[in-house]
A and B are shown apart, each in its own frame.
Chain A
Amino acid sequence: DTTVKQNPRYKLARVGKPVNLICSQTMNHDTMYWYQKKPNQAPKLLLFYYDKILNREADTFEKFQSSRPNNSFCSLYIGSAGLEYSAMYLCASSRDPDWGYEQYFGPGTRLTVL
């Protein structure tokens, strides 16, 4: 099973409210990633976990938090949503960072902030 699951598939949030997105995989992959995808733009890497070590991109460091309570689950947390957070959020996993070219993606969560 090479499935990555994301919940919810669609999320509506109000400006200033928190948002928590969930991702799970059953492939026992060491690495899990979160991307932000806006229309006509490339997916942008926000952060990734290698085992329990979190790596966050410098330009999104303060905007997104994440946790990985076990190997299978990873969350993406926005403390106070702004309009600019409206996007598709893609979760992915890979065997380990050296296999980062072969990432398995979930179907995404479409976040709309009003």
Chain B
Amino acid sequence: GDSVTQKQGQVTLSEDDFLFINCTYSTTTYPTLLWYVQYPGQGPQLLLKVTTANNKGISRGFEATYDKGTTSFHLQKASVQESDSAVYFCALVDPQVVGQLTFGSGTRLQVYA
């Protein structure tokens, strides 16, 4: 079955640092890849998505590139702010399995001012 792996459980940065969150996936199809963000006290919300038609997604200063060769979808941001502190989930949608998201375990980002 499909799977998503996020090896970093937590990332701690200072403001203006560069952010890199690792995500790899495993599937037999060409899925849509997504990043969701969950702020404290809220549910996850969609941050960005990338399909096979467009290999890069950009939103709110975050970007992720769909790399079919390495089956990776890492999340990056050039300069983080304290307000970016949240849990980030990588996820995929298998086009053959309607309506289902497969999530990674999440990476908690803590940014200090």
Contacts and interface: CB of A to CB of B under 8 A. Distances in A.
Given A42-B104, A45-B101, A100-B98, A105 B49 contact: no
A105 B44 contact: yes
B109 interface: no
Interface residues of B, number: 24
A94 B104 CA distance: 20
A65 interface: no
A105 B45 contact: yes
Nearest to B41: A107
Contact of A42 (B4, B34, B93): B4
B103 A104 contact: no
B61 interface: no
B31 to A, nearest CB: 9
Contacts of A42: 4, 89, 102-106
Nearest to A103: B101
A52 to B, nearest CB: 15
Q: How large is the interface on A (under 10, 10 to 19, 20 to 34, 35 or more residues)?
A: 20 to 34
Which among A42, A92, A102, A108 has the greatest number of chain B C-beta atoms within 10 A?
A: A42
Interface in B1-51: 4, 9, 32, 34, 38, 41-46, 49
29 contacts: A40-B9, A40-B105, A41-B105, A42-B4, A42-B102, A42-B106, A43-B44, A48-B100, A50-B99, A92-B43, A94-B99, A96-B99, A97-B99, A98-B98, A100-B99, A100-B100, A101-B46, A101-B49, A101-B91, A101-B93, A101-B101, A103-B46, A103-B101, A104-B43, A104-B45, A105-B45, A106-B43, A107-B42, A108-B43
Interface of B: 4, 9, 32, 34, 38, 41-46, 49, 89, 91, 93, 98-106
Given A4-B43, A42-B106, 6 more contacts: A33-B99, A40-B9, A42-B89, A50-B99, A94-B99, A105-B43
